[in-house]
Structure 1
Amino acid sequence: MKAYLFIIILFFAVSVHAQTTTRTTTKLDENTIVKDSSGTVLPYSIWQKLMQTGEYNLKKVTGLDEFVAYKMNDVEKARADERRKAAILNMPKPRQAASLKEGEKFKGDKFTDINGNKYDLKTSIDKVYVINFWFINCPPCKQEIPELNKVVEKYKDNKNVVFIGIGLDNKTDLAAFLKTTPFNYNIIDEGRFYAQKYEIDGYPTHVIVGKDGLIKFSTIGLAGNTVYWIEKTIGEQLKGI
């Protein structure tokens, strides 16, 4: 799992970022001044996408509260990747979602995604289910999507792993959002009922259910090693299949 540099920078500023009723501010946000090499100020949407490619870095301008975006060379990217890996391994395990305790039986439901595909988690115990509770206007939810898509891509040919994204938004809004921001989980719309049932109180919330129907991992918010633990848990569960 290779994390985007922008996300890693953000994670060093705050170890976990969850969307609740109170917003958490970070140093790098839409108010941050970022320029290109010619001195032109870049809109937030532009420099954020540059960072998400993993090809660029931000360098603080000495004496000023602003940054310059520049493209890293291969050596810099390799060093950044090694620092990221070391940092992730030294991080504590992401905090567990209070209502989704590891080792407990997952309540289970029957879901239908926006494409009409059905999933029966009430009786099916032969797959690993990777579930994400999220909503469109949740900054950390959107921030993690590119990395989650990489995990989906890794297991796209493995029928023993099923990715389900339970969105709180309606089908129309989700369809419009997904046109510009692909999210490759199987998306469930109108998910507030399920969020309330599972007592979700922060977003994103992740839960991984093993083939025995037990919760193997859960977490609330987005920490620097959230996706690492998702992928790690999937790998551990597949060893028994």
Structure 2
Amino acid sequence: MKTLQLISIFLLHTSITSCKENTSKETADVQIENTEPEITIDVLEHDLKKWWTYHSYNISLSSNFKGLNEHSDTIDKKQFLEKLIKGNYIPLKLNSNTQFETYKLFKLDSTANESIVNTIKSVSSINFKHFKMEGKSFPKFDLTDLDGNRYTNKSTKGKTIILKTWFINCKSCVAEFPELNELVKRYQQKNDILFLSLALDSENELQDFLEGNNFNYQVIANQQEFIKEKLKLQIFPTHIIVDENGTILKVVNKASEMISFIENEKNPIENLPPPSPM
């Protein structure tokens, strides 16, 4: 039960604060001067609250991080996440000279807190699933928003789609509205960017809800089947960035990580220019 509670806390935290990435060659070419973390594993591995606080503020498994195995050898993101899924390691952030954050795997002791083991399995599995979606084509769609605008793979070709999945009673989904509204405002002059949201709720429910809750994405109702069957997503919110050719670039649960990918990463969306002045 404690493990389930912790995973639930993880999903809520992730949501509120919630061809593969080309990391292999880049990572191999980077020389890391300092491979020591600011904190040691023995301080964290027996204290669930302390570990989760550290992980939440220091580790972003959805980012373009540089990965090291337990022997300080460079490994790619796929290998890094696959090791984490087994529950034998936790990642610690290193003090390094690289442009991206550098994480190293540290092996958990056999006496480590079991909830830490189970939670890192869950966290890394979710991130690995998202990672495997990146580089693939977005599924075929034919969607109509609350204003009657229709969107298909063909009609959106040449446009970047910033997409969010959500539902009315998801508090963390609604909590992101102000942050996402600011993002829409910054790019409102760009006609080649679409901000779409797929909601589980009916049109009437959404229209009533949105009268008192401003959300500047285009909202599409009754999307439970598309989200769960075609996208195969179960966590809300989830943010997906799709490029002008219909390829999935990024999948994350945190709005902040999605925005960071757009505006701050080394390899941002190719055709997405800096935001206009506010």
* 1:173 Cα deviation from its structure 2 partner: 1.0
In the alignment, what sits opposite 1:186? Answer: 218
Secondary structure of the 1:17 match is helix
Distance in 2 separating the partners of 1:118 and 1:165: 13
Secondary structure of the 1:136 match is coil
* Mean CA deviation greater in 163-172 or 123-132: 123-132
In the alignment, what sits opposite 1:200? Answer: 233
Q: Does the CA contact (< 8 Å) of 1:16 and 1:222 recur in 2?
A: no
Q: 1:148 pairs with 168, 177, 180, which one? A: 180
* 1:105 Cα deviation from its structure 2 partner: 1.1
TM-score (norm 1): 0.58
Q: Does the CA contact (< 8 Å) of 1:132 and 1:164 recur in 2?
A: yes
Change (3 A) 1:226 1:14: farther
* 1:193 Cα deviation from its structure 2 partner: 1.8
Q: 1:98 pairs with 109, 112, 129, which one? A: 129
Distance in 2 separating the partners of 1:167 and 1:93: 26
Distance in 1 separating the partners of 2:244 and 2:225: 24
* 1:146 Cα deviation from its structure 2 partner: 0.7
Moved segments of 4+, more than 6 Å: 13-16
* 1:179 Cα deviation from its structure 2 partner: 1.1
Structure 1 unaligned regions, length at least 5: 1-12, 25-86
Structure ID, larger Rg: 2
* 1:170 Cα deviation from its structure 2 partner: 0.6
Specify the code of the residue in structure 2 equivalent to 1:108. Answer: K
> What is the CA deviation profile of residues 67-108 of structure 1, one whole-angstrom value per residue up to 9, with x for unaligned ones?
xxxxxxxxxxxxxxxxxxxx98x6525364726611111113
TM-score (norm 2): 0.50
Secondary structure of the 2:216 match is coil
1:1-241 correspondence runs (5 A): 17=13, 91-94=59-62, 96=127, 98=129, 101-122=133-154, 124-196=156-228, 197-219=230-252, 221-222=253-254, 225-232=257-264, 236-239=269-272
Specify the code of the residue in structure 2 equivalent to 1:207. Answer: I
> What is the CA deviation profile of residues 13-66 of structure 1, one whole-angstrom value per residue up to 9, with x for unaligned ones?
9696357xxxx9xxxxxxxxxxxxxxxxxxxxxxxxxxxxxxxxxxxxxxxxxx
Q: Which has the higher contact order (CA 8 A, sep 6+)?
A: 1
* 1:223 Cα deviation from its structure 2 partner: 6.8
Percent identity, aligned pairs only, is 29
Specify the code of the residue in structure 2 equivalent to 1:167. Answer: A
Secondary structure of the 1:218 match is strand
Change (3 A) 1:114 1:142: same
Change (3 A) 1:97 1:114: farther
Specify the code of the residue in structure 1 equivalent to 2:210. Answer: L
Q: Does the CA contact (< 8 Å) of 1:93 and 1:225 recur in 2?
A: no
Distance in 1 separating the partners of 2:137 and 2:247: 4
